[in-house]
Amino acid sequence: MLKIRSIKKMQLLLEVARQEKKRIGFVPTMGSLHEGHQSLLRKSKKDNDLSILSIFVNPKQFFANEDFALYPRDEKKDEILAKKEKVDIILYPSIKEMYPDGYKTYVDVEQLSNVLCGESRSGHFRGVATVVAKLLNIVCPDKLYLGQKDAQQAVIIKQMVNDLNFPSKIEVMPTVRENDGLAMSSRNSYLSMKHREEVPVLFKSLKLAKYKILKGETSAGQIIRQIRSNITQNTSGRIDYIECVNAETLQPLRTLTGRVLIAVAVWFGRARLIDNIILRIR
């Protein structure tokens, strides 16, 4: 397993690989790897000749009072997991090389970036789209692997890749969960014991919503109210949002029809957890 810190070196190496017609799979992460990332790495290894992992805690997607400084980092543990998933190259770009003095260019995906998580984390998805555009140009993968847990991120990156004609394909892999249903996330490490016991309610409330919808409920308002009461009655979490939106446009729905994304974001102490399900209705 190669570890590369220089962007230039990475580009030269992969240029050679491409001329040898090697298929390149790419999993961009902020490190602090868990089983969700492992499922992406496994798929990347299975589908490609070269499996590349990047680990970069991207300052441009955090702001002033967010958890950039506190975001968990553990290179040693990450490398053990990467080796286990037979990663060929880990790219660790430096902040200085990614955003040198005088950096000025940003990628905006309009309409999709200011809803859901974008509403409370203004500018977050601009930072995400920008760093992924950069990484796609550095790695030029045949395939990019993303997790369904970050549903909005996946929709935005798909839109950017199509709109800007990046030659990479995108595969979105299912959310990986703990036994009690909690979606795997690096930020779960922020949870207190008490909150850790409460948080499985998020996925339970989404599953209950799915059940109601399968039973015939078509009102987004009803579903949202039900999830809200479920979370407020059974946890001490502070709700950021609960929304039912079109899974492609991310626009809010009143009547549940087509591909529907039901997404929640809830604060537990300093951990802001997100979860979602996608349903195809009728």
Tell me the catalytic residues: 37
Structure tokens at 124: 């977050």
- Is residue 21 near a second copy by the rule CB under 8 A? yes
Taken in order 183, 130, 86, 50, is the CA torsion positive or negative? Answer: positive
In the window 114-173, what residues touch a second copy (CB under 8 A)?
Answer: 129-130, 133-134, 137-138, 140, 159-160, 163-167
Among 64, 69, 101, 105, binds a second copy (CB under 8 A): 105
Residue 166 · residue 134 · CB < 8 Å: no
Q: Are 275 and 208 in contact (CB under 8 A)?
A: no
Residue 50 in contact with a second copy, rule: CB under 8 A: no
The region of 7-15, 172-180, 193-201, 211-219 touching a second copy under the rule CB under 8 A is 7-15
**Residue 115 CB, nearest approach to a second copy (Å):** 12
Question: Which one of 64, 69, 76, 104 is in contact with a second copy (CB under 8 A)?
Answer: 104
**How far apart are alpha carbons 279 and 74 in whole angstroms?**
36
* Nearest-approach distance from CB 55 to a second copy, in angstroms: 17
Please identify which residue in 7, 183, 266, 277 interacts with a second copy, judged by CB under 8 A: 7
Residue with Cβ nearer a second copy (102 or 216):
102
User: Distance (Å, rounded) from C-alpha 225 to C-alpha 207?
Assistant: 14
Binding flags for a second copy, 220-259, as an x/- string (CB under 8 A): -----------------------------x----------
Q: Which one of 3, 106, 252, 255 is in contact with a second copy (CB under 8 A)?
A: 106
Return the range that interacts with a second copy (CB under 8 A); candidates 18-26, 83-91, 144-152, 274-282: 18-26
Determine which residue in the list 47, 74, 108, 198 makes contact with a second copy, applying CB under 8 A. 108
Count of other CB atoms within 10 angstroms of residue 170: 16
Residues 6+ apart with CB under 8 A from 237: 195, 198, 199, 201, 202, 231, 266, 267, 268, 273
Would you list the DSSP string of 131-193? HHHHHHHHH--SEEEEETTSHHHHHHHHHHHHHTT-S-EEEEEPPPB-TTSPBP-GGGGG--H
Q: Is 219 exposed, middle or buried (0-12, 13-18, 19+ CB in 10 A)?
A: middle
Burial of 70 (0-12, 13-18, 19+ CB in 10 A): exposed
Q: Is the Cβ of residue 140 or residue 208 nearer to a second copy in the bound state? A: 140
Residues at the contact surface with a second copy, assessed by CB under 8 A: 7, 11, 15, 18-19, 21, 102-112, 129-130, 133-134, 137-138, 140, 159-160, 163-167, 249
